[in-house]
Amino acid sequence: MDKFIENIKSVSLRENQDYSGQGAVLKFAQAETLIKHCQANSLWPMTFGIACCAIEMMSVGMARFDASRYGAEVFRPSPRQSDVMIVAGTVNKKMAETVVTLYEQMPEPKWVIAMGNCAISGGPFAIEENYTVIEGVDKLIPVDVYVPGCPPRPEALLEAIFKLQEKITGKRHPFPQNRHP
Amino acid sequence: MDTGRVIKEIEKISVKTDCIHILPGVEYECSVSAENIRDFASVLYKNNYMLLYLTAIHLEPYPAVVYQFVWPETKFRIRAVVFCGENKTVPTISDIYNGANWYEREVMEFFGIDFDGLEDKRTLILDESDKGLYPLLKKEGKALDAEATGFKTN
């Protein structure tokens, strides 16, 4: 902990004068790295299952696949406490408004995982006769990670969480990968 | 209760059909005209029949509304087909069978068949913006001919 504080203190204004870049005038590189590291390791998903992919999402949270090994098991009942929205299922016209409202209620920074073929592109519903299914949730909200499958295996969702961590911190975290029981 | 007596009663206001698409389990199938469907439903309601489902089928020249009733004690089923005619209107039976209310609203928004006398005509399943879409109607020329499938269009 002392080392962390030292690192933060060592970031001086004189050494990191970068007024040409976009964003904040003052940059605390070490602190931002630390914060991003913390964010990546405490991704709280929203309790939000629309269709059958949600069953796989539940098993990710349970003991067998155990997403708590990676800090992503705290399914929050409120969008205001969530970091990740896992869109697990078919989004239809009536549901679209709710999905967008929930996304807008989440505080920044926020990420979205589109889980399953329905959320990616409409899946089996992307046909000519389709009249109610939104073909891809990325038409409504920006999506960070896509997980293909119908439904995807729980390991695939875990991999999506790793990908998201990679996106946030810039590197894949060397977690201890316990062998599956 | 005697099912024969009920059939004698409904034979006065309906025509028995021999449909080629008859399903296993449907013991009696008949074609009813739109004017008689309320009397038909009243007779079955008095004889303790329950409404199993109400749906529609797109045939040429007119779409048909299909009612299925069942007597719970012996599982005796009666299926009634009503062709809705040119004005696409069928009298409601939702004041006789309360359960028909949601079925009729569903048929209304999926097939565009109007139910005369139905009080609540809000959309039930589809989005508000889909009013007038009628997604379960077949494309032009794709609907089967009613006479060829064994229905009597009255």
Choose among A8, A171, A6, A147: nearest CA to A87: A147
DSSP 8-state class, residue B30: E
B61 vs A174 pLDDT, higher one = B61
> Closest chain A residue to B124 measured between Cα atoms?
A94
State both tokens at B19: 């449909």
When the pLDDT of each residue in chain B is averaged and rounded to a whole number, the result is 85
pLDDT for res A134? 87
Is A93–B133 a contact, with Cβ atoms under 8 angstroms apart?
no
Is B135–A132 a contact, with Cβ atoms under 8 angstroms apart?
yes
**Residue B133 with chain A: CB contacts under 8 Å:** 131
Which residues are paired to A146 by β-bridges? A114
Q: Over the stretch B100-114, which tens digit does the pLDDT of each residue have?
A: 999 999 999 999 899
Q: Over the stretch B50-94, which tens digit does the pLDDT of each residue have?
A: 999 999 999 888 889 999 999 888 888 888 889 888 888 999 999
pLDDT for res A179? 59
**Residue A91 with chain B: CB contacts under 8 Å:** none
| CA distance linking residue A50 with residue A55, whole number of Å | 10
Is the distance from CB of B127 to CB of B37 less than 8 angstroms?
no
Residue A8 host element (H or E): helix A2-10
Q: Is the pLDDT of residue A82 over 70?
A: yes
Q: Over the stretch A84-132, which tens digit does the pLDDT of each residue have?
A: 999 999 998 888 888 888 999 999 889 999 999 999 998 899 888 888 8
Q: Is the pLDDT of residue A144 over 90?
A: yes
pLDDT for res A4? 36
Question: How much of chain B exceeds pLDDT 90, in percent?
Answer: 27
DSSP 8-state class, residue A46: B
pLDDT for res A5? 34
Is A131–B129 a contact, with Cβ atoms under 8 angstroms apart?
no
Which residues are paired to B66 by β-bridges? B55, B81
Residue A114 host element (H or E): strand A111-115
Which residues are paired to B51 by β-bridges? B69
Residue B32 host element (H or E): strand B28-32
pLDDT for res A84? 93
Q: Over the stretch A22-72, which tens digit does the pLDDT of each residue have?
A: 556 666 788 888 888 888 888 999 988 898 999 999 999 898 888 888 888
| pLDDT band, very low/low/confident/very high, at A19 (cuts 50, 70, 90) | very low
CA distance B66 to chain A (A): 23
Is B135–A131 a contact, with Cβ atoms under 8 angstroms apart?
yes
> Closest chain A residue to B134 measured between Cα atoms?
A131
| Residue linked to tokens 């062998």 | A179
Q: Is the pLDDT of residue A17 over 90?
A: no
| CA distance linking residue B82 with residue A172, whole number of Å | 65
Choose among B3, B76, B80, B78: nearest CA to B37: B80
Choose among A16, A60, A68, A132: nearest CA to B109: A132
B23 vs A131 pLDDT, higher one = A131
**Residue A94 with chain B: CB contacts under 8 Å:** 127
Residue B70 gets the label, from left (phi > 0), alpha (psi -120 to 50) or beta, of: beta
**Residue B130 with chain A: CB contacts under 8 Å:** 93, 131-132
ipTM over 0.85: no
Whether A93 contacts chain B with CB within 8 A:
yes
| CA distance linking residue B151 with residue A20, whole number of Å | 79
Mutate to test the interface with B, among A93, A97, A130 (most CBs of B within 10 A): A93
Backbone angles phi, psi at B89, to 5 degrees: -130, 135
Is B127–A129 a contact, with Cβ atoms under 8 angstroms apart?
no
